[in-house]
A and B are shown apart, each in its own frame.
Chain A
Amino acid sequence: NAGVTQTPKFRVLKTGQSMTLLCAQDMNHEYMYWYRQDPGMGLRLIHYSVGEGTTAKGEVPDGYNVSRLKKQNFLLGLESAAPSQTSVYFCASRDSTSGRFTDTQYFGPGTRLTVL
């Protein structure tokens, strides 16, 4: 199993450009998450999905959109990139069949995005 993979690993954008980050998981997990990591702030949740075709806002959703058309994929879009979106983006997934709140989230390797 590859686990959680993210594409691309690095990207540099100019202000106003758009892009899509792809997250894929092969563990058949229902729940998927997008976080951003900034120095001293830990990870903050952008959007999440509890199943195919569903999405919901997290703590810092402004400027981002997401889609979950297939269970294994979770896309994060930036329509008009801003320098404040320079960050490292992590995707995660977790199983939910047990209904337990203690199930582990599995993280991808991250995408480092710079917006000039």
Chain B
Amino acid sequence: AQSVTQLGSHVSVSEGALVLLRCNYSSSVPPYLFWYVQYPNQGLQLLLKYTSAATLVKGINGFEAEFKKSETSFHLTKPSAHMSDAAEYFCAVSDRGNAGNMLTFGGGTRLMVKP
């Protein structure tokens, strides 16, 4: 079974600082990985996804993530945080072994950006 662990339920950074949100996965097959963002009182929207085409994936709003098979990680980064980045971020893995192609989510990391 797939699983996802997000280290740090809350991360606080200053505006302009580096954002690093950690995600580690467990998968018996090569994984497909996703990062979703949830702004307050909204649904989830896709930030980026790893589809095995390239290990460094660029997403929307200046975010990117690097797939590292040796570390079973897919950490999300942004060079310079903006106040509008304050949200909850979820890492997810696609369960390819199931007919429903379900996503298994991590517990989420709430990003706070200080002025």
Nearest chain B CB to A41 CB, angstrom units: 6
Number of cross-chain contacts by CB at 8 Å:
63
If A96-B101, A102-B94 touch, does A40 touch B43 (CB 8 Å cutoff)?
Answer: no
Chain A, 20-63, CB within 8 A of any chain B CB: 31, 33, 35, 40-45, 48, 50, 56, 58
Interface on chain B toward A: helix, strand, loop, or mixed SS? loop
Is B94's CB under 8 angstroms from A40's CB?
no
Binding site for A on B (CB under 8 A): 4, 6, 9, 32, 34, 36, 41-46, 49, 51, 90, 94, 96, 99-103, 105-108
- Per a CB cutoff under 8 Å, which of B36, B101, B105 touches A101? B101
A43 to B44, CA, bound (A): 10
* New contact pairs (12) apart from A45-B103, A105-B103, CB-CB < 8 Å: A4-B43, A31-B100, A41-B107, A42-B108, A48-B100, A48-B102, A56-B100, A58-B102, A96-B101, A101-B101, A108-B43, A109-B42
Is A102's CB under 8 angstroms from B32's CB?
yes
The 8 closest A-B pairs by CB, nearest first: A42-B105, A107-B43, A102-B51, A107-B44, A43-B105, A48-B100, A101-B96, A109-B43
